Each structure stands twice: as structure tokens, then as C-alpha cells.
């Protein structure tokens, strides 16, 4: 049985923000959410989050997780934080301690840490510059003796390059007994969780150590500078994984994946693109520069030109999108659909072979196959209170600058003359016009610009 305790009570003074530190975003998700997602993969019997600063903001933000929340007030150190959750822990279990501001710890590393269930297992790291970290003290045989916090360390101890990451696992029954013996006799006046190491050694309990596969797994966030550094590291890792899977990236340093991006074969992604949530790109999809795609599916062979925005859309194969197109939630495009520059689609389905190439708005509509939507056409779907639907059947040709006043149906094969306002259903295969009579006014003078008065 596994308990996971996540310490998330820190104020984050150096973040210079009213938001709790663990709720600041990395790769589109709060720091704490990264840790919880990793913890969930270990299938714990119990997950406890210790929170403090920010009031109920942390429990509210993480309400979707099957976790319990315990308030640490006041904050008297890491040992004191773990003490707060002891009533919720079963002694016949292992307890793993994680940190809400160390977001990129990997599941594989934690599984290695948990391989010695009867030992006190520490995750340590060797650093060329260990400044700021507690040092791992070992005897001449290499066995761990204790952890000394930097502020309490001697110059000789500070020369040690093996550091404590803070992440550890221990048998719960032993952890409970060690925490009961903690004192705050140190320069910080806090109850250090790390003091349990010396207690384990004195008791003859094995102290094992494990190292992460990557040093960035245990990097913490205490400032906006560190947050930005970790963001770039994470994005570089995402880019590397995509390259290894055969995705062509115009510049791996200019890509942001804020969720999960799944790509088929021969996918090409230009610079500055952002992918949020769950995004799937089929074989031979090309994504133009500075495009944003969120929670959408794009099927094989589709080309998305630069500066397009796509959210909660389902795009068929061999479509052409953009540049500067906006596909809003509820958009469904069938195969071989063309959506051109400055065209906006919302809550609409467009069937195979249809085109809206210029400066149009299609909202709350069902559009058939082989439809041509002329430049400047809009569906007027909102009457100020309710939304209404526009139906455009197959083989319709809509002239430029047409307004379709919903609810309305444009029948199969209809042609609508440019500049028309359509308020009633059209006749199948007929030409429909709605224009006022054109006149020329003799003697009309264009207003002249008044000369500026001299000052």
C-alpha cells in the first residue's frame, strides 16, 4: 500500500504574486497538477496535499483529483508539514513525500525509489554547484549518516556535492515514530524532515539512495526566473521527443506543447506554434508558423497556413486552413474543405469539398458539399436573445457580401446574388436576389474637408 504526501504550503515570496506558488503554470498546467498527474500513475491508496498560503485556492483548483487536503497553519517546516497528515496514514504502508513546486519528477524515477519498501529511501543528486541544498553525509564505507542543511553545515560539509532533493519514501510506521521525535533546534527554528535520516541510522534502519535519470526532474520553482528556465527545459524535452518520432520542426527552440501532442508520420511544424490540451495531427499534416491549436483533431494531408487559431475543432483530411483563420469550438470540417484568410467558423459542420475562402463568418450552421461561400458572407445567427441555425444544402453558390438571417435554409443548387440579404428559404436550383434599386444622384457633391484654421 502506498501513501503519497505532497507538500504545497509554501508562500513563494520570490514569485511576487498573490497566487499560491504551486498554482503557477508550467506547460499550460499548474505546478501542483504536474505532480498529481505523476502521483496518480503510481496508483496510491491515499494522496494527501498539505497546503497553506492562498487559503482554499489550492483545494479548489485541484478538486478533480481524489486527494485529501490538510491545512498547515502555521508553517513550521517540512517535518511539521508531514506531521499534519499522520492521522490519515495507515501504518502498514509506505509513504512517499513529494513537493508541489518540483513539477517534473518522473514516474520511472519514483518507481526506482520505491523498490526498497523496508528502507528509508532518499532521492539524491550530485551537483557541481550544490549551493542552497542540504548535503548528504556518508561514512568511510559510503553509508548515509545524515543530511545537513546548508545553513547549519560547516565549511567542510558544504564542500560535499551530493545533495538532498527532499523526495523520500519510508515505511509509515517508522516515519510516524521519527516525526514524533523532531525538534526545531536549528538556525531556522523549524522542524526539518531531513532530521529523520540520522534517526534511521541510529536505529539501524537501512538508508538507500536513488538518483534521477535527469537533473531537471528535481529542479524546484522559487521565482519567475526559475519557472521560465524550467518551462524552456520542458519544451526542449517535448521537442526532442517529437524529433525522435520523426516530426519535422522548423526550429525546436520555438515550439510550445502545453498538453499532449500526438503526431502521425511526416508531420511538419513551423516556428512559434502552440499546442494546448489534447491535439492529434494525422499523417502529412503541415502547420504554419505561429498557429495555435487547442484540443483538436486534424486528419491526414491537411495544411494549416500561418497565424490560424483552432480550438475544439475536428478537421478532416486534405483540408486547407488559413492563413489567419479562426476555427472556434464545435467546428467540424469534412474532407477537402477550404477555409481561407480571415474566415471564422463556430459551432458549424461543413461537408466535403466546400469553400469559404475570404473574410466570412459561419456560425451555428450546417453546410453541405461543394458549397462556395463568397467573400464577406456572414450568417446572422443571433437575434439578441437566442441563437438560430442556418442550413446550406449541397451545391449552393453564395455571392459576395451576402447576409443569411437565421433561421433560414438555402436549398440545394441555389445561387445567391452578391450583396443579398436572405431572410426566407430559397428555391432549389434557382437564383435568389435581394437588392435595392441602384440609382445615381445628379449634382451630388462629396463633402469637402475643411481647411485648418491658423493659430
User: Rounded to whole angstroms, how far apart are CA atoms 432 and 418?
Assistant: 10
Q: Which three cell numbers stand for residue 92?
A: 502498514
User: Rounded to whole angstroms, how far apart are CA atoms 334 and 283?
Assistant: 16
Q: What is the DSSP letter of 17?
A: S
* Contact of 298 with 281, CB cutoff 8 Å: yes
Q: What is the DSSP letter of 218?
A: G
Residue in the block written with cell 452578391: 418
User: Rounded to whole angstroms, how far apart are CA atoms 14 and 446?
Assistant: 63
User: Rounded to whole angstroms, how far apart are CA atoms 408 and 389?
Assistant: 7
* Contact of 290 with 306, CB cutoff 8 Å: yes
* Contact of 410 with 366, CB cutoff 8 Å: no
User: Rounded to whole angstroms, how far apart are CA atoms 240 and 158?
Assistant: 35
Task: Calculate Rg over the CA atoms of the chain.
Answer: 31
Burial grade of 64 (CB within 10 A; 0-12, 13-18, 19 or more):
exposed
CB under 8 Å to 440, separation ≥6 — which residues? none
User: Rounded to whole angstroms, how far apart are CA atoms 112 and 27?
Assistant: 26
User: Rounded to whole angstroms, how far apart are CA atoms 17 and 213?
Assistant: 32
Of residues 334, 327, 329, 385, the one with CA closest to residue 360: 327
Question: Could you confirm whether 53 is annotated as catalytic?
Answer: no
Residue in the block written with cell 522559487: 222
Q: Which three cell numbers stand for residue 450?
A: 475643411
User: Rounded to whole angstroms, how far apart are CA atoms 331 and 328?
Assistant: 6
User: Rounded to whole angstroms, how far apart are CA atoms 179 and 139?
Assistant: 24
Considering 280, 335, 358, 388, which one is annotated as catalytic?
358
Q: How far apart are the first and last CA of the chain?
A: 87
- Sign of the dihedral defined by the CA atoms of residues 323, 240, 276, 281, in that order: positive
Cβ atoms within 10 A of the Cβ of 343, count?
A: 25
For the annotated catalytic residues, the residue numbers are 358
Amino acid at each position: 500500500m502506498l501513501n503519497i504526501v505532497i507538500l504545497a504550503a509554501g508562500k513563494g515570496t520570490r514569485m511576487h504574486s498573490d497566487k499560491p506558488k504551486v498554482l503557477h503554470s508550467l506547460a499550460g498546467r499548474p505546478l501542483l497538477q504536474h505532480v498529481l498527474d505523476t502521483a496518480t500513475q503510481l496508483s496510491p491508496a491515499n494522496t494527501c496535499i498539505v497546503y497553506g498560503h492562498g487559503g482554499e485556492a489550492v483545494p479548489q483548483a485541484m478538486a478533480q483529483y481524489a486527494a485529501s487536503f490538510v491545512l498547515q497553519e502555521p508553517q513550521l517546516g517540512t517535518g511539521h508539514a508531514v506531521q499534519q497528515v499522520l492521522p490519515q496514514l495507515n501504518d502498514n504502508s509506505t509513504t512517499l513525500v513529494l513537493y508541489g513546486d518540483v513539477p517534473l519528477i518522473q514516474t520511472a524515477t519514483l518507481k526506482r525509489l520505491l523498490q526498497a519498501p523496508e528502507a528509508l529511501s532518499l532521492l539524491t543528486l550530485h551537483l557541481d554547484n550544490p549551493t542552497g541544498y542540504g548535503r548528504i553525509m556518508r561514512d568511510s564505507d559510503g553509508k548515509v549518516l545524515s543530511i545537513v542543511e546548508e545553513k547549519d553545515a560547516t565549511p567542510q560539509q558544504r564542500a560535499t556535492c551530493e545533495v538532498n532533493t527532499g523526495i523520500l519514501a519510508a515505511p509509515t510506521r517508522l516515519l510516524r515514530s521519527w516525526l514524533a521525535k523532531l525538534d526545531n533546534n536549528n538556525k531556522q527554528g523549524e522542524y526539518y524532515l531531513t532530521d529523520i535520516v540520522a534517526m534511521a541510522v541510529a536505529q539501524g534502519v537501512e538508508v538507500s539512495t536513488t538518483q534521477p535519470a535527469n537533473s531537471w526532474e528535481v529542479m524546484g520553482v522559487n521565482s519567475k526566473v526559475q519557472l521560465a528556465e524550467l518551462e524552456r527545459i520542458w519544451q526542449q524535452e517535448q521537442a526532442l521527443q517529437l524529433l525522435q518520432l520523426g516530426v519535422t520542426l522548423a526550429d525546436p527552440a520555438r515550439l510550445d506543447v502545453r498538453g499532449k501532442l500526438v503526431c502521425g508520420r511526416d508531420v511538419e511544424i513551423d516556428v512559434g506554434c502552440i499546442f494546448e490540451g489534447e491535439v492529434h495531427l494525422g499523417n502529412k499534416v503541415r502547420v504554419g508558423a505561429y498557429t495555435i491549436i487547442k484540443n483538436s483533431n486534424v486528419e491526414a494531408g491537411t495544411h494549416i497556413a500561418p497565424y490560424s487559431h483552432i480550438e475544439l475543432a475536428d478537421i478532416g483530411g486534405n483540408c486547407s486552413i488559413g492563413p489567419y483563420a479562426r476555427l472556434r469550438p464545435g467546428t467540424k470540417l469534412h474532407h477537402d474543405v477550404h477555409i481561407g484568410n480571415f474566415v471564422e467558423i463556430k459551432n458549424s459542420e461543413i461537408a466535403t469539398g466546400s469553400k469559404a475562402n475570404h473574410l466570412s463568418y459561419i456560425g451555428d450552421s450546417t453546410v453541405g458539399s461543394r458549397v462556395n461561400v463568397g467573400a464577406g458572407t456572414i450568417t446572422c445567427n443571433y437575434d439578441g436573445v437566442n441563437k438560430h441555425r442556418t442550413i446550406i444544402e449541397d451545391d449552393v453558390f453564395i455571392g459576395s457580401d451576402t447576409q443569411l438571417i437565421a433561421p433560414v435554409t438555402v436549398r440545394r443548387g441555389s445561387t445567391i446574388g452578391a450583396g443579398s440579404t436572405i431572410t426566407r428559404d430559397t428555391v432549389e436550383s434557382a437564383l435568389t436576389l435581394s437588392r435595392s434599386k441602384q440609382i445615381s444622384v445628379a449634382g451630388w457633391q462629396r463633402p469637402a474637408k475643411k481647411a485648418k484654421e491658423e493659430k
